């Protein structure tokens, strides 16, 4: 796959024998005829190698399967599956070679050229897309009730889920996208928010709206507590320590049985009320007061608007903060920490505010999660959740607010849509359940999108400060997210 | 006293496994400066391969002579796991070389998710138990405690693990310090651009680094399988983080450091479980990671990183 480069010989301090080896290598290029990498034969050869590799990798995993049987483990074989996998890899690699990698005019080249030419139009299109999305989000529950009355509850529930991830993504975007601090333990603040609300409701009988600000404050405090020790760390080290903190919080929640009820979790978390009105059936409920027929969908619509407003607040605060000194300090910190310090920016306070504000929004989202589910346990706050949120932020394009929305819709919505694809089970047989492939596809999408567009889907962003005229900054011009 | 010695032996055994995984982290970090997040899952993959080969040899082909079986299992697992390590690098990291720093970390996390779920789908989510294959041992010490008699056991399994680790470490150190490949690897670690100018195939050297890391992880995977007898698709995550902690503790980029860090992490974990609480043993490992990175970022044997403007 990688082209062999001929090593340059001639060094006196090399061991004996190297000279002869180098001589033979020097002679080699003249004897081997140059191969044209664009030829069909080369494409097929390369695809065959990929298929061989797939066979080697899949042999013990697709071809064989170990199962627990009475009297020990047994091994079953699935050679057809292995052969199918090899053929799929061969065909896929061949198609990629013929159309993208090993052709003089790759298909993607034309796409890229078109995108570059249409960049200004793209910017206006993005602006209109943003407005369109906003209007759609505003009327979304009624849209689903009108157009898909049979499955409206399911779709609104999915919208709530996506909106939660958008909010989490926007919250994490402050830490990762703006301040450039790679946080792999963001789920800890989500957990703190959820548990704060659950415990406050359990012990002090507080409602959702009372507990929400408290949960935000508590999460922000934890943001400070966990942010303080890692001020000196940067890049990958910061990532791994925040991951460790996230895991520590989860393990403590799991084992501190007297306080958190351990793995059993906390149930019976109160539902939010609308100015004191409960969304319940019968006397004094929301439907009764407004003279409507009771419908459980009301509660879903209400929850949707709560998370919608919370997410909007997150977005507005972020946009405003970017224009304030602290927001500019964040972005300066992301680009170059040393330059920042030499210009007199207090990096400690700047980092801590980023951690605290990001954590606060995570705490809000956590409270909402608790009230929506009515039940929480440490199971919901694993590292995978952090990875998903980070993936949304990075794949959307660091620092891009609309990118987070697109990435959430694609990654969360797209994956959930898998459940509804009926024809797959006709193709693969009845036992085929697309849902179990969810995370596999998620991981693959993470790798592929990153390889395809390392800067994320939306790679340009509006400069927060402009001299005379606003220019678009290509993300490749700045050292994004390096934290120094 | 006897309890202490027993825990010491257990800790050294566990630490050897962590150390072998940690070498993969430390080499990759040394050469391309990224955390290979999927390395723990490569370890998990190797344990599954080892289990499958072992079952084929014993129950399908009917070999019974254990040392030969284990040797074949070891070699096959190392070869196939190396192919996995190579592929992960080729697919997820090589296209992003020269990209910004977060990019390979994200693909690494993605790869980790892919590997875990791939194994979960193809092999099932339930744990795979393997009955202990190597039993017995020698009694080193005997004594009395208030709870009754206690004997310090050094099982044959533990001996095999410690000896194999020592042999591998020695040969690996020779490989890095004496061969052309080792020289190329160290050159790339110091300055990739300069190494390329001097005719070193940098891409191939990096690939081989991943292959070596995966092969050592395969040894660790087989030992884990034989020592604990239970594997599932999720073992890579915790083992990976602990091994990374070991690499950081020993000083990232340093091979003896990785081994030393692995032994220390193993000892800390075992003593923490033995004298304090089992539930919080992972908290102990994670806290050490945080403390070391904050107060001693270059580790015990690492070179301090010089920041240049």
Structural domain that includes position B59: 18-234
Is B91 part of a structural domain of the chain? yes
* Segment A340-348 long-range contacts (CB within 8 Å, at least 24 positions apart): A347/A231, A348/A231
Q: What is the DSSP string of A399-428?
A: T-HHHHHHHHIIIIIHHHHGGG--HHHHHH
Asked if residue A224 lies in contact with residue A355, where contact means CB atoms within 8 angstroms, the answer is: yes
What residues does each domain of chain A span? 37-103, 129-462+470-477
The DSSP output letter for A454 is: T
Q: What share of chain B is helix, strand, coil (3-state, %, to 5)?
A: 75, 5, 20
Chain B hits for A254, Cβ within 8 Å: 279
Instruction: Compare CB distances from A73 to B119, B130, B204 and report the shortest one's residue.
Output: B130
Q: Tell me the chain A residues in contact with residue B40 when contact means C-beta distances shorter than 8 Å.
A: none
CB contact under 8 A, A236 and B80: no
The interface predicted TM-score (ipTM) is 0.86
- Locate A247 and state its tokens: 């895991």
Model confidence pLDDT, tens digit, residues A392-433 = 888 888 778 888 998 898 888 887 777 666 566 566 655 566
- SS3 string of A20-73? HHHHHHHHHHHHCCCCCCCCHHHHHHHHHHHHHHHHHHHHHHHHEEEEEECCEE
Does residue B214 belong to any structural domain of this protein? yes
B-chain residues near A451 (CB < 8 A): 91-92, 95-96, 107
Give A183-232 pLDDT, tens digit per residue: 888 999 999 999 999 999 888 888 888 889 999 999 999 999 988 888 88
Burial of residue B209 (CB within 10 Å: 0-12, 13-18, 19+) is buried
List B residues 85-114 in contact with A (Cβ-Cβ < 8 A): 87, 90-92, 95-96, 99-103, 105-107, 109-114
Q: How far is B202 from chain A (nearest CA, A)?
A: 10
- Flag whether B45 is in a domain: yes
Please name the member of B80, B92, B101 whose beta carbon is closest to the beta carbon of A235. Answer: B101
Q: Distance between CA atoms of A365 and A380, rounded to whole angstroms?
A: 13
Inter-chain CB proximity B293 and A1 less than 8 Å: no
Tokens of residue B39, six digits: 């390395």
Question: Within an 8 Å CB–CB cutoff, is residue B278 touching chain A?
Answer: no
Q: For B152-195, how does the pLDDT look when each residue is reduced to its tens digit (9 = 90+)?
A: 878 888 888 989 888 988 888 888 889 998 899 889 888 888 99
pTM of the model: 0.84
Q: What is the Cα–Cα distance from B132 to A52, expressed in whole angstroms?
A: 35
From CA A371, how far away is CA A363, in angstroms rounded? 12
> Which alpha helices (DSSP H) does B89-148 contain, by range?
102-123
**pLDDT reading at A47 higher than 90:** no
Contact B257, B301 (CB under 8 A): yes
Residue B98 domain-assigned? Answer: yes
Q: A88-124 pLDDT, tens per residue?
A: 999 998 888 888 776 666 666 666 666 555 556 666 7
* 3-state secondary structure at position A183: coil
Q: How many domains does chain B have?
A: 1
Give yes or no for a contact between B249 and B264, defined as CB atoms under 8 angstroms apart.
yes
Pairwise CA distance, residues A99 & A315, whole Å? 41
Has residue B92 been placed in a domain?
Answer: yes
Between B139 and A391, whose confidence is greater?
A391
CB contact under 8 A, A442 and B51: no
Put simply, the answer to whether B111 touches A443 (Cβ < 8 Å) is yes
Q: Rounded CA gap, A272 and A208, in Å?
A: 5
Whether residues A75 and B52 touch (CB distance < 8 A) is answered with: yes
Per 3-state DSSP, chain A is made up of helix, strand and coil in percentages (nearest 5) of: 70, 5, 25
In degrees, to the nearest 5, what angle opens at C-alpha B218 toward C-alphas B217 and B221?
Answer: 90
Greater pLDDT, A291 or B178: B178
- Beta strands, E only, A140-294: 266-267
- How far CA B147 is from CA of A357, B4, B271, in Å, comes to 53, 15, 19
- CATH class entry, domain A129-462+470-477: mainly alpha
């Amino acid at each position: 796959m990688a082209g062999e480069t001929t090593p340059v010989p001639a060094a006196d301090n090399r061991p004996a024998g190297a000279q002869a080896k180098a001589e033979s290598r020097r002679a080699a290029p003249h004897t081997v005829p140059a191969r044209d990498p664009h030829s069909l034969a080369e494409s097929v050869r390369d695809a065959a190698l990929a298929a061989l590799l797939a066979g080697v990798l899949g042999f013990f995993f697709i071809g064989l399967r170990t199962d627990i049987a009475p009297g020990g483990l047994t091994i079953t074989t699935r050679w057809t599956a292995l052969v199918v996998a090899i053929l799929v890899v061969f065909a896929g690699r061949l198609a990629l070679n013929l159309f993208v990698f090993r052709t003089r005019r790759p298909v993607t080249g034309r796409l890229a050229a078109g995108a570059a030419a249409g960049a200004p139009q793209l910017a206006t299109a993005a602006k209109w897309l943003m407005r369109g999305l906003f209007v759609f989000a505003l009327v979304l529950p009624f849209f689903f009730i009108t157009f898909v009355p049979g499955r409206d509850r399911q779709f609104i529930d999915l919208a709530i889920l996506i909106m939660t991830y958008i909010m989490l993504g926007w919250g994490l975007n402050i830490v990762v996208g703006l301040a450039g601090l790679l946080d792999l333990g963001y789920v800890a603040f989500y957990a703190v928010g959820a548990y704060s609300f659950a415990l406050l409701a359990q012990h002090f009988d507080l409602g959702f709206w009372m507990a929400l600000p408290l949960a935000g404050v508590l999460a922000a405090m934890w943001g400070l507590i966990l942010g303080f020790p890692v001020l000196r760390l940067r890049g990958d080290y910061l990532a791994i320590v925040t991951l460790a903190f996230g895991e520590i919080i989860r393990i403590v929640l799991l084992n501190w049985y007297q306080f958190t009820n351990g793995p059993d979790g906390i149930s019976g978390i109160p539902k939010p009320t609308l100015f004191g009105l409960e969304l319940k059936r019968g006397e004094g409920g929301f439907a009764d007061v407004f003279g409507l027929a009771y419908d459980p969908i009301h509660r879903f619509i209400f929850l949707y608007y709560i998370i919608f407003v919370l997410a909007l607040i997150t977005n507005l605060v972020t946009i405003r903060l970017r224009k304030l000194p602290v927001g500019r300090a964040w972005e300066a910190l992301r680009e170059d920490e040393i330059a920042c310090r030499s210009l007199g920016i207090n990096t400690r306070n700047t980092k801590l505010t980023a951690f605290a504000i990001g954590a606060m929004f995570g705490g809000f989202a956590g409270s909402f999660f608790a009230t929506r589910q009515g039940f929480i346990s440490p199971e919901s706050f694993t590292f995978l959740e952090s990875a998903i949120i980070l993936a949304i932020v990075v794949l959307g394009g660091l620092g891009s607010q609309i990118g987070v929305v697109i990435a959430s819709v694609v990654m969360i919505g797209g994956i959930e849509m898998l459940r509804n694809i009926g024809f797959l089970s006709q193709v693969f047989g009845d036992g085929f359940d697309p849902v179990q492939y969810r995370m596999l596809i998620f991981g693959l999408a993470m790798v592929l999108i990153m390889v395809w567009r390392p800067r994320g889907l939306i790679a340009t962003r509006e400069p927060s400060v402009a001299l005379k005229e606003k220019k678009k900054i290509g993300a490749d011009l700045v050292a994004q997210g390096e934290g120094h | 006293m006897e309890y202490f010695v027993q825990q010491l032996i257990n800790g050294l055994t566990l630490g050897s496994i962590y150390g072998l995984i940690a070498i993969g982290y430390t080499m990759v970090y040394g050469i391309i400066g990224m955390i290979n997040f999927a390395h723990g899952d490569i370890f998990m993959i190797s344990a599954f391969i080892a289990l499958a080969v072992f079952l084929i040899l014993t129950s399908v082909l009917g070999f019974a002579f254990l040392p030969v079986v284990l040797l074949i299992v070891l070699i096959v697992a190392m070869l196939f796991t190396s192919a996995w390590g190579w592929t992960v690098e080729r697919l997820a990291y090589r296209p992003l070389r020269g990209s910004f720093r977060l990019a390979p970390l994200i693909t690494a996390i993605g790869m980790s998710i892919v590997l875990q779920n791939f194994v979960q789908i193809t092999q099932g989510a339930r744990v795979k138990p393997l009955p202990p294959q190597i039993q017995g041992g020698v009694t080193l010490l005997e004594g009395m405690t208030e709870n009754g008699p206690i004997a310090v056991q050094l099982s044959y399994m533990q001996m095999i693990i410690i000896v194999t680790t020592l042999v591998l470490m020695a040969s690996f150190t020779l490989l890095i310090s004496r061969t052309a490949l080792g020289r190329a690897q160290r050159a790339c670690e110091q300055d990739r651009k300069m190494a390329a100018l001097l005719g070193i195939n940098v891409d191939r050297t990096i690939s081989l680094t991943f292959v070596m890391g995966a092969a050592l992880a395969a040894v660790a995977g087989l030992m884990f399988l034989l020592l604990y007898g239970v594997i599932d698709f999720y073992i890579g995550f915790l083992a990976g983080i602990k091994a990374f902690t070991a690499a950081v503790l020993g000083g990232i980029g340093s091979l003896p450091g990785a081994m030393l860090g692995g032994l220390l992490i193993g000892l800390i974990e075992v003593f923490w479980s033995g004298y304090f609480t089992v539930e919080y043993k992972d908290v102990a490992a994670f806290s050490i990671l945080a403390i070391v990175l904050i107060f001693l970022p270059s580790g015990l044997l690492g070179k301090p990183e010089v920041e240049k403007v």
